[in-house]
């Protein structure tokens, strides 16, 4: 926005002038105003000096940095990232085989354990006592967990009374 009277301070135009965002007519007008206006001249000088000092300030910081070492660090980190990403993707790809295999193995283990380890066949643990006679014999057992007593009675067959016996 141009101001027709070059003797009046126009902050917006001054800002655009500082930014180089003015046409030729505005430039001439602004230069004439700055030459005549002490306040605007001081403002332009202060901002231009600040801009220059800011650039020097950053350049000073840039000069204090070892960019070669930083570049090496960045490259090493990127390479590590690439390798770990490669390792991770391989691991993720292998999951489609690992998961079913683990599930199958788990199920097999579960059935084996529950059928053969946790529940042993209900056999008597020990013969507590036994009696053997000429006609029959008796054995007394006890079950391991429920501690029930089993009487095993066996009648002997008379070999002599059964002639067909072998």
Partner 1 sequence: MSKTIQNRIVYDKELILRLQRGDEWAFQLMVRRFRTKIFSIAFGITLDTEESQDIMQEVFLQVYRTIGDFRGDASLATWLHRITVNRSLNWKRRWARRFKWLHVSTDSTDGLPAAEPESDLPSPEIRVANAQTRQQIDKALKMLPEQARTIFVLRELEGLAYEEIADAIGIKLGTVRSRLFHARKRLKEILQPLVEEEE
State the residues that interact with partner 1 by CB under 8 A: 11-12, 15, 18-19, 42-43, 45-47, 50-51, 53-58, 60-62, 64-65, 67, 70-71, 73-75, 77-79, 81-82
By C-beta, is 17 or 141 nearer to partner 1?
17
Minimum gap (Å) between residue 30 Cβ and partner 1: 14
By C-beta, is 42 or 119 nearer to partner 1?
42
By C-beta, is 51 or 104 nearer to partner 1?
51
- b/e string for 29-65 if b means 16 or more Cβ within 10 A? bbeebbeebeebeebbeeeeeeeeeeeeeeeeeeeee
Minimum gap (Å) between residue 74 Cβ and partner 1: 5
Which residues, other chains included, contact 2 with Cβ-Cβ below 8 Å and sequence gap of 6+?
Answer: 10, 13, 25, 26, 29
Minimum gap (Å) between residue 107 Cβ and partner 1: 40
Nearest in space to 124 (alpha carbons), one of 92, 149, 94: 149
Minimum gap (Å) between residue 91 Cβ and partner 1: 18
Tokens of 136: 């029959």
């Amino acid at each position: 926005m141009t101001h027709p009277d070059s003797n009046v301070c126009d902050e917006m135009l001054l800002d655009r002038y500082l930014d180089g965002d003015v046409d030729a007519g505005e430039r001439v007008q602004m230069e004439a105003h700055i030459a005549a206006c002490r306040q605007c001249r001081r403002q332009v000088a202060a901002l231009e000096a600040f801009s220059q000092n800011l650039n020097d300030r950053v350049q000073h910081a840039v000069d204090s940095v070892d960019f070669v070492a930083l570049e090496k660090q960045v490259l090493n980190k990127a390479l590590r990232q690439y390798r770990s990403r490669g390792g991770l993707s391989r691991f993720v790809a292998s999951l489609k085989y690992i998961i079913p295999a683990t599930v199958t193995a788990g199920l097999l283990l579960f059935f084996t354990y529950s059928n053969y380890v946790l529940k042993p066949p209900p056999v008597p643990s020990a013969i507590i006592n036994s009696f053997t006679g000429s006609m029959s014999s008796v054995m007394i057992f006890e079950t391991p967990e429920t501690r029930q007593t089993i009487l095993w009675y066996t009648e002997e067959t008379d070999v002599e009374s059964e002639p067909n016996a072998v």
